[in-house]
Amino acid sequence: MATVKPTDIAKLAHLARIAVSEEQAADVADRITEVLNLVDQLQEADTDGVEPMAHPLDTAQRLRADQVTETDQREAFQAIAPAVEDGLYLVPRVIDE
Amino acid sequence: MHDQTMAQLAQALQRGDFSSVELTRHYLDRIQRLDSTYNSFITVTETQALQQAAEADRRLAQGDAPALCGIPLAHKDLFCTDGVRTSCGSKMLDNFVPPYSATLVNNLQTAGAVMLGKTNMDEFAMGSSNETSYYGPVKNPWAVDCVPGGSSGGSAAAVAARLTPGATASDTGGSIRQPAALCGLTGLKPTYGRVSRWGMIAFASSLDQAGTLTRTAEDSALLLNTMASFDPKDSTSVDQPVEDYTAQLSQPLRGLKIGLPKEYFGPGLHPETAAAVDAAVKVYTDLGASVQEISLPHSHLAVPVYYVIGPAECSANLSRFDGVRYGYRCDDPADLMDLYQRSRSEGFGEEVKRRILVGTYALSAGFYDAYYSKAQKVRRLIQQDFIDAFKQVDVIMGPTSPSPAFALGAKSQDPVAMYLEDIYTIATNLAGLPALSVPCGLVDNKPVGLQIIGNYFAEARLLNVAHQFQQETDFHARTAPGID
C-alpha cells in the first residue's frame, strides 16, 4: 500500500508550487493516501506486452506549417494581467541589485 | 414559452409566433425571478443577450436564418467568451475576462444563438456534485436539498428549472451525463475530438469533450449540428465531416442489438435504479431490438485509471496559473516563489489542490512507471473491452449513475465516495467513445438516467436510439415539482 507521509508533502507541494502549512500536512497526506489506495488496484492488472495508450483515437498530433498566423494582441492580453509596465509583466525582483 | 423544447421554439421563431427578443426577455425574467433558489448561473449577460436577440430577429425576418437563430442558450463557465468573465468556478479566474471566444461559442453565435449567461460548475470541472464551486453549490430543481450532479451542475439545473431551453457542458469523466441523469435531462458526450476544445479551459486534455444538456435527444442533435466542427486550432480535433445529426432520428429500431454489461448491474447499483433501467430496456425490446449480456471485464479499474490520468493531466494543465499573466495574484509576495505558491494556494480550492498534488506524485521521479505508465496500459485494456463488445452489439446500455441525487454535503468530505459517483461513466472517456444519458424513471421522486454508449462517431445512431425511446416514454417531458 502506498502511504504518503506528512514529510513527503513538503516535497510534493514544492514541485506543484502549492503552499501546504505544517498544520495541514497530516490531513493532506491522509487524503492523498486514500486516493493512492484507490488507484493501487491497478497493480493487480496484467499489462505484460500492453502498449500505453496516450490518445483515445491513437492518432499522432497534427503538425502545422511553421508560419506566423497570430496577430499581435499584446495589449489585449496585458489588459487582464495583475501587474504590467511598459509592455512587460511585473514580478518580484529575482536578481539582487 | 419555456414549456417548449428547443426544436419547438426554433419552429415558432421561424414562423414568427414570437420574436427572439420576446423569448430572450422571457428567459432572462425567469432567471432573475427564480435562480436565487438554484444558483445555476454565475454570470447573466442580459445586455448582450438582448442585442444578440435583436440581431437574430433581423436575420429571421430576412427568411433564411439557421435553425438555432434566435434560440437562447447558456454556456458552462469554462468556455471562453470574448469580453465576458469566464471563471471556471474558481477564485483563480474570478477576474478573468478572456480576449477571445471558444470555437464552439463562435459556432453557436455565428448560427444566431443567443447567450443568456454562464453557468455554475465544480471548480475547474473537478467534482460530481457542483459543491466545489467558488460561487457556492447549485441546488437540484427536483429536490433543492440535493445536488444537481457535476461538474456541469449549473447547466443541468438551469435547463431542468426551465431557465434556458438548452446549455453547453463538458464531460471529462461523466460531467454531462451524471447531472443529466440527476436532473431528468438528455445529456450527450460526443466522441473525443468531435467538438473543438479550443477555448475550453483544460482539465484533462486526453479526456475532455464538450457536449450538450437539453430536454430531448432531438434538441441535442440540433445543438451538435452547430457545435461540432473540425478545428485546426485544436490539435486533437478530428478532421471528419459533420453529419446532420437530426437525419436519422426517426429511423425504426427493429434489429438493433443492445449489449448489457454484467459489470454495470452489480452490487452498488440502487435496486430501484436497476428496475428503471430494466424497464427502459423492455421499451427497446418492444420496439424490436434484441438484448444480450456482454462483459467489459476491466470495468472495475476505470475509476483507478481515471484518478491517475486525470490528476496527472490536470497537474500539467493547471501549472499555467502562476499569478503573473492573468487570474488571481496574492497580495504582497515576498519573492517569486512566494508569488507562485501563495497565488496558487489561495486561488485554488481544496479538491483542485488535492488533484494537482496527486498528479504531481504520479508523475514524479520513481513513481511514473508504477502509476502513470501503468494507468495508460490499463486504459488500453478498457478500450479493448469496448472494441470487443462492439463486434457483437450496436449500442451498450446501463445505468448512468448508481443512485438518484444525494443530499448536499453527503459526500463532500469523502473524496473517494464522490469519485465512485462516476463508476459507470468514466470508462467511455478513457476509451474516447460517445455516450448519452436519457431520463428513464423516478426513484424517491428524483430522476434517474439510462446511459447509452455507442461506437466511435456513432452520435447520429445514439441520438436516434434516444429519440425513439422518447417517442414511447414521457420521462423527458416531466417537469420538476414546483416549476411552473
- What one-character-per-residue DSSP string does B167-206 give? EEEEESSSTTHHHHHHHT-EEEE--TTSS--TTBPPSSTT
Mean pLDDT, residues B28-40 taken together: 98
Interface probe with A: pick from B97, B337, B345, most Cβ of A within 10 Å: B345
Contact B469, B198 (CB under 8 A): no
Of B318, B327, B94, which Cα lies nearest the Cα of A16?
B318
**B237 in catalytic set:** no
Q: Which residues of B touch A35 (CB under 8 A)?
A: 307, 311, 354, 358, 415-416, 419
**B151 in catalytic set:** yes
What pLDDT score was predicted for residue B460? 98
Mean pLDDT, residues B188-203 taken together: 98
Give the least confident one: B122-131, B195-204, B310-319, B363-372: B363-372
What pLDDT score was predicted for residue B188? 98
What pLDDT score was predicted for residue A97? 63
Q: Quote the percentage of chain B above a pLDDT of 90.
A: 95
Q: Does A6-44 carry CATH code 1.10.20?
A: yes
**Residue B5 above 70 pLDDT?**
yes
**Residue B95 above 90 pLDDT?**
yes
Specify the length of chain A in residues.
Answer: 97
Q: Report the residue of chain A nearest B298, measured CA to CA.
A: A45
Name the pLDDT band for B139 (thresholds 50, 70, 90). Answer: very high
Q: Which three cell numbers stand for residue B163?
A: 431557465
What pLDDT score was predicted for residue B419? 87
- Read off the pLDDT of residues B381-426 as tens digits, 9 standing for 90 and up: 999 999 999 999 999 999 999 999 999 999 988 888 888 889 999 9
- Domain spans, chain A: 6-44
Task: Write down the mean pLDDT value for chain B.
Answer: 97
Contact map slice: A 44-63 vs B, CB within 8 A: 45, 47, 50-57, 59, 61-62
pTM to 2 decimals?
A: 0.97
What pLDDT score was predicted for residue B25? 98
**How far apart are the C-alpha atoms of B17 and B321, rounded to whole Å?**
48
CB contact under 8 A, A82 and B192: no
**How far apart are the C-alpha atoms of B53 and B102, rounded to whole Å?**
20
What pLDDT score was predicted for residue A5? 86
Q: Which residues of A touch B325 (CB under 8 A)?
A: 77, 81, 89
From the list B323, B344, B432, the residue facing A56 with the nearest CB is B432
Q: Quote the percentage of chain B above a pLDDT of 70.
A: 100
Per-residue pLDDT of chain A (97 residues; tens, 9 = 90+): 678 888 889 999 999 999 998 888 999 899 889 989 999 999 999 999 999 998 888 778 888 889 998 899 999 999 999 999 999 999 998 887 6
From the list B308, B353, B380, the residue facing A39 with the nearest CB is B308
Mean pLDDT, residues B3-9 taken together: 97
Alpha helices in B2-146 (DSSP H): 6-15, 20-38, 46-62, 103-110
What pLDDT score was predicted for residue A90? 95
What pLDDT score was predicted for residue A1? 62
Report the run of H or E that residue B451 belongs to, with start and end.
Answer: strand B446-453
